[in-house]
Amino acid sequence: MSKFFREGEVVSVEGDNCEIQLSIKGFCSGKHQCAAAVFGKGISPERNKIRAKNSIHARVGEKVVVEILSPGFYRSLFFVFLFPLIALFGGILSGIQIAVWMGIPQRSDLYAGIGGVICFSCSLLISRSVNRRVQPKYIIPNRIDKSSNCKGCLIRSR
């Protein structure tokens, strides 16, 4: 199981649960133009809202640390990156074999391309369905005080 930490602000509290707007910039103020701040510029804020159990009784407007537990993180990485690549090469090899089996080896490039595209497309559909089933769990272990800075906040929250 993989653990990740993000900073967020409590937007609303409903009973034992709260809605948190995760920071796109990570634990920085965003002034440093780090990779998280630069790559997160185009992401809409609505995509970074989560619901978590309010175990520390945080109030609206407080900044908190959110621990993200992802039980299938490495399996998801396999299905997103490696599985389509393996399927592409498998489709190419099977397309070549089908052309040879049909007795037209001069068309093996065409059949290799068709087989590669079909297998790659099917692997993307399989990867998408597998990744939809993997849902992370969110835990709020700590608040972030106002004196926190970019370097110390993550270390203090552990």
Per residue in 103-117, pLDDT (tens digit) is 999 999 999 999 999
Is the same domain home to 109 and 48? no
User: In terms of domains, do 120 and 143 share one?
Assistant: no
Q: Is the pLDDT of residue 88 over 80?
A: yes
Q: Both 122 and 140 in a single domain?
A: no
Structural domain span for residue 78: 74-132
Structural domain count, the chain: 2
- At 131-156, the pLDDT tens digits run 777 778 888 888 887 655 544 444 44
| 144 plus 92 within the same structural domain | no
Share of the chain above pLDDT 90, in %: 33
87, 141: one domain: no
93 and 146 belong to one structural domain = no
- Reply yes or no on whether the pLDDT at 100 is more than 90: yes
CA atoms of 16 and 144, how far apart (whole Å): 20
Tell me, yes or no, whether 14 and 36 share the same domain: yes
Q: How far apart are CA 18 and CA 8, in angstroms?
A: 11
Give the Cα separation of 95 and 129 in Å (integer).
Answer: 25
Let me know: does 66 contact 8? Beta carbons within 8 Å: yes
CATH number for the domain harbouring residue 46: 2.40.50.140
Q: Are residues 64 and 91 in the same domain?
A: no
78 and 125 belong to one structural domain: yes
pTM for the predicted model, two decimal places:
0.58
Identify whether residues 7 and 23 lie together within a single domain: yes
